[in-house]
Amino acid sequence: MLGEKIEDALNSQLNAELYSAYLYLAMNAYFESIDLGGFANWMRIQAQEELSHGMKIHDYIIQRGGRVILEEIEKPQTEWESPLDVFEHVYAHEQKVTGLINDLVNLSIEEKDHATNNFLQWFVEEQVEEEESSSGILNKVKLAGKDASSILMLDNEFGQRMFNPPSSE
């Protein structure tokens, strides 16, 4: 059985993951609008990943006998100035999510909920990867600058990204 504080915090994180999916879908739409289909593809896959993070939490709440409560999902930003502007936002957003996960881990320790603490370790590792990949892309986009052929090369690279559903481990 989940404690009430942990249940509420997991439901908030579920909402945060769904918001992340929404934000990346908004970025997908932005890239489609400026005809960078590869960047758009990267964002679409990213949104699918965030949805799968949300479902992981959803399933865990149920597994522990808790109640999933779906709240309103905040409207994401819809316009950006450039691909660089988008990836600065992505990196900042992932750092913010890392902070949320760390707060949840701290709460699981305070509440002596070892199962939730163990469950959250997957997210701790995932955030290391999320920060690494978003800062890596941010640097590439920075290097490309306003050079159209470099941006098109990156667009081609990001067009190759495919969705790998995270394992249940």
User: Would you say 44 or 53 has its CB closer to Fe ion?
Assistant: 53
Q: At what angle do helices 114-144 and 37-63 cross, to 10 degrees?
A: 170
CB 47 within 8 A of CB 31: no
Residues 64-103 vs Fe ion: string with x where CB under 5 A? ----------------------------------------
**43 token code pair:** 């964002």
> Least distance in Å: CB of 96 to Fe ion?
10
Taking residue 5's Cβ as centre, other Cβ atoms within 10 Å add up to 13
CB 46 within 8 A of CB 2: no
**139 token code pair:** 């640097």
Name the closest residue to Fe ion (Cβ).
53
User: Would you say 7 or 17 has its CB closer to Fe ion?
Assistant: 17
Residues 1-40 vs Fe ion: string with x where CB under 5 A? ----------------x-----------------------
Amino acid (one-letter) located at 65:
G
> Least distance in Å: CB of 149 to Fe ion?
30
Contact pick of 6, 53, 107, 137 for Fe ion (by CB under 5 A): 53
Under rule CB under 5 A, residue 104 binds Fe ion: no
Question: What sign does the dihedral 23-29-34-39 (CA atoms) show?
Answer: positive
Segment 129 to 148, residues that bind Fe ion, using CB under 5 A: 130
**117 token code pair:** 């603490």
> Least distance in Å: CB of 73 to Fe ion?
14
Provide the 3-class DSSP secondary structure of residue 83: helix
The site for Fe ion (CB under 5 A) is made up of 17, 50, 53, 130
